[in-house]
Amino acid sequence: MKKQFAKKIALLMAITLCLGTASCGKKEEPKTENPEKNVQNVESTDQAATPETPALQTAFLQANNAPTITAGTAILVEQSTGTILFDKNAKDKMYPASMTKMVTALVVMDYFKAEELITVGTEINEVSLDSSKAGHVNGETLTVKNLIRGLIIPSGNDSANVLATAVAKKVKNNQSLSFAECQDIFAGLMNDKAKALGAVNTHFTNAHGYHDENHYSCAYDMALFGRAYLANSTLAEIANEKSFSGNGADNMFAQNKEKKTQDYSWKSHNLLITSNEYNYSYASGIKTGFTNEAGDCVSAAAMKDGVTLIAIIFNSPDPARWLDAKSLFEYGFNGYEKVELGKAAAVVEAVPLVKHKRLEGDTLDVVFHQDVVAYLPTGEASKVTKTMEYEQEYLAESKDNVVKLKAPIKKDAKVGTASFQIGGKTVLTEPVFAGREVSKGTIWSSIHYFFKNFTSVVFSVKGLIGLGVIVAVGALIFLGARFIGGRRRRSARGYSFRQPISRRGNRRGKRRF
């Protein structure tokens, strides 16, 4: 009998515990801050190829009063985000002339450090007589940085040949290569670089940009190259130099008469940064260009209030190229504003969770992995609204129209997309990621949670109600068990064939008279 009673008590405790972990004190699921957000399901396709983000993206809203320019093709781009603020036939095939040298410098910096030394060879004789030159002589030694200065400031085609030859021989580990071989190798490296940067209509045949029918590019691609160029601090410094005067080897061989060096005095051809009537006070580079076939060109940069703009101008006869660049810069700086829509690692919103370990928290903070910045027409920032869309694989079924995500979720997993709109038109989208790992819940994690939070859970309103229900159910089960057990004992006594035992004395079946 004692064993039966113990079994009933154990059964009662197990039932009570299970009911308690399942329902007792279950907290009300938190709701999202803005329940009227237009949340949609996004199919997750692990097998589908995700298209790469374009290297440059057109501004989702265009500012009014775009300038009229002389250039045959042109583009205006914000440097940090690659936002296109103005576009005039930007992907049309054009001849880049000496603007080519931006890519030459980029390739050189992939293989040499600025302070390394290069000795000039006969490659300086492989330039046309009408080419612009820096004035190098055979056998002299210069630093890479000063050779790039000769490439950019006076636009030296001889500097381009020296750099191209040095890179090609280093890449092939062959000092016996002819100049023709070096030029082909270096042009291949330039084309590879252009492709890696996202170019869509570019092909190079030489390092300096002297006219060749198969040497071409477009304003869109030149803007890509300008962005990459400015991202290198050494190159950005050189692009903004109005002039250079000094020794080609920085006087490191002043006491060594066996090393040939020479002094230079170069002045920039970029009238936007030099002192003249076309100077633009915010200008910071980059490279000019001219051939009869290309016309007057410029890859220009300007920085104001922390914003850098790049203007590419093709075939705009002087002085129009300077005026076109200034007009585009004024349009970009005054017609647009930089709007910060989100910060890297900042919480975008806290989303309720289901099927998770509750001790880890009942919501998941979703975050951006990078600062979210948009360039919008001035005055439009206050009109921006945001909606969230979550990946189907993480969405839980919901009957109350509250978006909930289900465990498990790995930290930094892409869980959805934030969309920013103005007047119903999407101006920017940005993926959001899990700010932490969300573990899948188990019966043991539920039991752990229940006992760890027993006091706060039980003495909540829902907890008291749930506890009352549990006690009532437990009592009913206990009474039911007692009732069934009693009936079984009575039934067993009713069908017994044993003789009754006398309660008086030890003798059986005798009566006293």
Q: If you average pLDDT over residues 380-386, what whole number do you get?
A: 93
Q: 484: buried, middle or exposed (CB in 10 Å: 19+, 13-18, 0-12)?
A: exposed
Kind plus residue range of the DSSP H or E element containing 11: helix 2-23
Question: Residue 19 has what pLDDT?
Answer: 45
Q: Packing angle between helix 219-231 and helix 101-111, nearest 10 degrees?
A: 40
Burial category of 391 from C-beta neighbours within 10 Å (exposed 0-12, middle 13-18, buried 19 and up): buried
Res 452: pLDDT: 63
CB atoms within 10 A of CB 231: 12
For residue 207, give both structure tokens: 């390092």
Q: Is the dihedral of CA 179, 185, 188, 193 positive or negative?
A: negative
**Percent of all residues in the chain with a pLDDT value above 70, rounded to a whole number:** 79
Query: What sign results for the dihedral spanned by CA atoms 369, 371, 372, 375?
Result: negative
pLDDT for res 409: 94
Average pLDDT of the chain, as a whole number = 85
| Rounded CA Rg of the chain | 39
- For residue 21, name the pLDDT band (cuts at 50, 70, 90): very low
Tell me: pLDDT of 32 over 50.
no
C-alpha 247/C-alpha 259 separation (Å) is 12
More confident residue, 163 or 50: 163
How do residues 396-409 score in pLDDT, each as one tens digit?
887 788 899 999 99
Average pLDDT over residues 63-86: 95
Q: Are 59 and 86 in contact (CB under 8 A)?
A: no
As separate numbers, helices (DSSP H) first and strands (DSSP E) second, the chain gives: 11, 19
Question: pLDDT class for 451, splitting at 50, 70, 90?
Answer: low
Is-catalytic flag, 357? no
Give the model's pLDDT for residue 465. Answer: 72
- Choose the catalytic residue: 155, 159, 268, 284: 155
Q: pLDDT tens, 353-375?
A: 998 788 788 899 999 999 999 89
For 268-327, write each residue's pLDDT tens digit.
Answer: 999 999 999 999 999 999 999 999 999 999 999 999 999 999 999 999 999 999 999 999
AA letter at 217: S
Whether 145 is catalytic is no
At 399 the pLDDT is: 77
Tell me, what's the pLDDT at 146? Answer: 98
The reported pLDDT for the residue numbered 360 is 83
* Residue 118 reports pLDDT greater than 70: yes
Nearest to 261 by CA among 121, 114, 139: 139
Q: Is 98 part of the annotated catalytic residue set?
A: yes
Residue 492 has pLDDT above 70, yes or no: no
By the 8 A CB rule, do 351 and 316 touch?
no
pLDDT tops 50 at residue 512 = no
Considering 98, 131, 217, 460, which one is annotated as catalytic? 98
CA distance 443 to 470: 18
pLDDT of residue 398: 78
Does pLDDT of 46 surpass 50? Answer: no
Residue 25 has pLDDT above 70, yes or no: no
Domains, the chain, with CATH or none: 73-335 (3.40.710.10), 340-434 (2.60.410.10)
pTM here is 0.74
- Which of 88, 101, 357, 404 does the annotation list as catalytic? 101
Find out whether 287 is annotated in a ligand binding site: yes
pLDDT for the residue 425: 87
Tens of pLDDT, residues 139-198: 999 999 999 999 999 999 999 999 999 999 999 999 999 999 999 999 999 999 999 999
Q: Are 287 and 299 in contact (CB under 8 A)?
A: yes
Alpha carbons 222 and 100: distance in angstroms, whole number? 8
* Nearest C-alpha neighbor of 339 from the set 412, 428, 268: 428
Q: Which sign, positive or negative, has the C-alpha torsion 280, 283, 289, 293?
A: negative
Q: Which of 363, 309, 301, 354 is nearest to 332 (CA)?
A: 309
378 or 443, greater pLDDT: 378
Residue 41: band (very low, low, confident or very high) from pLDDT cuts 50, 70, 90 = very low
Write the DSSP assignment of 370-399 as a string of letters: S-EEEEEETT-GGGEEEEEEEEGGGBPP-S
